[in-house]
Amino acid sequence: MEKFRIEGGRRLEGMVRVSGAKNAALPAMAAALLTPEPVRLRNVPRVRDIVTMGRLLAHMEAHVETSPAEPEYVTIRAEKISNAEAPYELVKTMRASVLTLGPLVARTGYARVSLPGGCAIGARPIDLHLKALEKMGAAISTEHGYVEARAPEGGLRGAELRFEKITVTGTENAMMAAALASGETVIENAAREPEIADLARLLITMGAKVEGAGTATLRICGAAELHGATHTVIPDRIEAGTLLVAGAITGGELLLTQCEPAHLTAVTEKLAQAGVVIRAEGGNALRVHNGGPLTAVDVTTEEYPGFATDMQAQYMALMTQAEGASVITETIFENRFLHAQEMVRMGAHISIEGRRAVVRGPVRLTGASVQASDLRASASLVLAALVAEGETVIDRVYHLDRGYERLEEKLGAVGAKIERIK
Ligand code: EPZ
């Protein structure tokens, strides 16, 4: 298994380009199942989950093309779908495989998708995805660990949906199903994440009518057929947030290019309260530097536009260096503090009670051997290691590779001493 070896204590300085958003590229790839025509996606990050989604679509006999000459492009052509199945072997490595459920049942009238099962950060059921499809007329059954969904004669029908709880991929599945359903679908209590708006843009280009993206009520008018499209994926706000913390925690100065500052407001506001100086430079660049001693500031994770759960672990790493006690409350997932124990092994003072973590700082972190437990936890350990004294070895970086594009190269280019070892 590959590991990262990081020698801490170096100030990061320079320019880093932010990649495309994994969590926008994944639903965009799934949406390509809705049409026999090619869907060309630009700004797709070269990360493991994208490779897994490509394999999944290929399993369904879609053509997935990437070219070394244009590494950020992926073209998908699902001319015919002869195998409307997402097998356990792929779903177990990537829960987002469930994003194929809505498009498959809408396009072919049938889908068989393995249930994802538990995950390191929480139970993460998909009951809300299934209820939405049922309301659109699909018959759902679960057997042998697989969900089978069948559209009624004449295909899925538009429906009035109301999610009991906000769900990002649940909203995306319902949107994609609605794009090929007959009539209008209204989704209440929809997720408002920028990735939802990005998917709406793509579906509109493909010929669906979508209104209200970015608000809690979405209205989608399905089309009998959707056509191909070319679409540029939005920048990755979580990678950008992680890099902002990297600049701040090392007392450095980084210029992040090709990001979308408007998607990062909750994070930049929190960091500013903590004493980090962040300046917008032009339309899509952010400059970060540490304006002196950091102050502890509480944070509570929320759905967008609140502070993202996907930034909670990285923020915790920063708070180990801030003066005072910060209370970090995780409201989205029930078990997303696994990184805390690893940070404690590096010298952090963190106590956990249920969904709250109290971080007391500043402490001098010291390098240690630590283990990554999920994607964002891995990133938080890299951040802690960048400021720790001596050498940190992070095991199981395959978690990190699922969602960060060449993180060691990006950090290495701005002064971090980081290497990938076998
Ligand atoms: C998306 O996961 C992201 N993944 C996650 O990114 C992110 O952490 C999460 O949204 C929250 O922002 C992708 O976009 C591919 P949810 P998703 O459904 O859609 C509960 C990363 O690191 N729920 O919004 O699976 C659920 O258990 C990750 O990139 C139900 O109860 O999350 C959770 O408590 C990991 N029933 C809450 O809702 C359902 O049917 C929100 O989850 C669905 C969800």
| Sole residue written with tokens 């051997």 | 369
Instruction: Report the C-alpha gap between 226 and 164 in whole angstroms.
Output: 29
Alpha-carbon distance of 81 to 61, in angstroms, equals: 6
3-state secondary structure at position 113:
strand
Longest Cα–Cα distance of the chain, Å, equals 65
- The Å distance, Cα 310 to ligand 1 centre, comes to 10
pLDDT value for 144: 93
The DSSP element (H or E) to which 3 belongs, if any, is strand 3-7
Instruction: Give the position of tokens 């010291």.
Output: 366
Q: Whose CA is nearest to atom 1 of ligand 1?
A: 168
Q: Give CA angle at 46 (43, 47), nearest 5°.
A: 125
Q: Which atom of ligand 1 is nearest to the CA of 96?
A: 15
Asked if the model's pLDDT at residue 321 lies above 90, the reply is: yes
Quote the CA–CA distance of 41 and 32 in Å, as a whole number.
10
pLDDT in tens, 39-89: 999 999 999 999 999 999 999 999 999 988 888 999 999 999 989 999 999
Q: Is 94 in the pocket of ligand 1 (CB under 6 A)?
A: no
E strands along 87-145, which residues? 110-114, 139-143
**68 CA from centroid of ligand 1 (Å):** 32
Q: Which residues are catalytic?
A: 119
For ligand 1, say whether the CB of 336 is within 6 Å of any of its atoms: no
User: Given the CA of residue 375, which atom of ligand 1 is nearest to it?
Assistant: 22
Token pair of 180 as six digits: 């090929």
Query: Sorting pLDDT into bands at 50, 70 and 90, what band is 160?
Result: very high
Measure Cα distances from 37 to 60, 155, 175, 206 in Å. Answer: 15, 20, 19, 10
Instruction: Please work out whether the CB of residue 171 comes within 6 Å of at least one atom of ligand 1.
Output: no
- Mean residue pLDDT across the chain: 96
pLDDT tens figures, 139-153: 999 999 999 999 999
Token reading at 256: 């992040």
Q: Which atom number of ligand 1 is nearest to the Cα of residue 308?
A: 12
CA–centroid distance, residue 169 to ligand 1 (Å):
6
- State which of 47, 162, 175, 332 you would mutate to test the pocket of ligand 1, scoring each by most atoms of that ligand within 8 A of its C-beta: 332
Q: What is the pLDDT of residues 76-130, one digit of tens each?
A: 999 999 899 999 999 999 999 999 999 999 999 999 999 986 678 877 899 999 9
- Among 355, 195, 256, 390, smallest CA distance to 203 is for 195
In this predicted structure, what is the pLDDT of residue 116?
87
What is the enclosing helix (H) or strand (E) of 46? none
> What is the pTM for the complete model shown?
0.98
User: What dihedral do alpha carbons 247, 371, 302, 218 form, nearest 10°?
Assistant: 100
Question: What was the pLDDT predicted at 167?
Answer: 98
Closest by CA position to 168, among listed 116, 119, 112, 98: 98
Q: Of all protein residues, whose CA lies closest to atom 13 belonging to ligand 1?
A: 23
CA-99 nearest atom, ligand 1: 15
420 within ligand 1 shell (Cβ under 6 A): no
Q: Give all strands of the β-sheet with 3-7 in edge-to-edge order.
A: 369-371, 391-395, 3-7, 417-421
d(CA 287, CA 294): 17
- 326 — pLDDT class (breaks 50, 70, 90): very high
Once rounded to an integer, what is the mean pLDDT over residues 382-392? 98
Q: Is the distance from the beta carbon of residue 405 to the nearest atom of ligand 1 less than 6 Å?
A: no
Sorted by where each starts, the structural domains of the chain and their CATH numbers stand as 3-19+235-421 (3.65.10.10), 22-232 (3.65.10.10)
Whether 306 is in the pocket of ligand 1, judged by its Cβ within 6 Å, is no
pLDDT of residue 118: 67
